[in-house]
A = this chain, B = another copy of it.
Amino acid sequence: MDLRPLDPQSESPLYRQLYEQVADQIRTGRLVAGERLPATRELAGQLGLNRTTVSAAYEILETEGLITGQVGRGSFVTRGQAARTGGIDWDGVLERHELPPATPAPSGDRDVIRFVVSRPSDALFPLDDFRASCAAVLGRADLADILQLGSPSGYEPLRRYLLDDARHQGLAAAGDDLIITNGCQQSLDLIGRVLLRPGDSVVVEDPVYTGLKNLLAGMGAQLIGIPVGADGMDLAHMERSLRRERPRFLVVTSNFQNPTGTTLPAGARRALLEAAHNAGFPVIENDAYGELRYHGQPAPSLKQLDQRNGTVLLRSFSKVSFPGLRVGWALGPKPLIERLRHAKEASDLHTDQLSQAVLLEFVESGRLEAHHKRVLQAGAERLAAALSACREFLPQGRWTEPEGGMNLWVRLPKPLDAAELLPHAQREGVAYVPGRYFEISRREPGALRLSFAGLTPAEIRRGIEILGRVVRSARESVLETVEPTQAMV
- Which residues of A pack against B, CB within 8 Å? 26-30, 32-35, 76-83, 85-91, 93-94, 96-97, 99-100, 117, 119, 122-123, 125, 127, 130-131, 134, 138, 143-150, 168-176, 181-183, 185-186, 189, 193-195, 197-198, 211, 214-215, 218, 270, 273, 277, 280-282, 300, 304-310, 318, 322-326, 333, 335-336, 339, 342-343, 345-355, 358
Please state if A324 and B134 are interface contacts (CB–CB under 8 Å). no
Partner of A325, one of B138, B193, B309, B352: B352
16 A-B pairs whose Cβ atoms sit less than 8 Å apart in the complex: A26-B307, A29-B307, A76-B170, A82-B175, A82-B308, A85-B307, A88-B280, A88-B281, A90-B335, A94-B194, A125-B147, A182-B352, A183-B349, A185-B348, A326-B349, A354-B355
A348 to B185, CA, bound (A): 5
A169 to B131, CA, bound (A): 36
Please state if A324 and B88 are interface contacts (CB–CB under 8 Å). no
Query: Which residue of B is nearest A149, CB measured?
Result: B323
State the number of copies, please.
Answer: 2
Query: Which residue of B is nearest A132, CB measured?
Result: B138
A352 to B150, CA, bound (A): 15
A347 to B214, CA, bound (A): 10
Partner of A100, one of B183, B336, B342: B342
- With contacts A88-B309, A170-B77 known, is A28 near B270, CB below 8 A? yes
Q: List, in ascending order, chain B residues with CB within 8 A of A173's CB.
A: 33, 79, 82
Please state if A309 and B82 are interface contacts (CB–CB under 8 Å). yes
Q: List, in ascending order, chain B residues with CB within 8 A of A117's CB.
A: 149
Residue among A26, A32, A35, A97 with the highest chain B CB neighbour number at 10 A: A32
A89 to B145, CA, bound (A): 38
Q: Which 6 A-B pairs have the closest CB atoms?
A: A34-B170, A87-B308, A33-B170, A88-B310, A324-B353, A79-B173
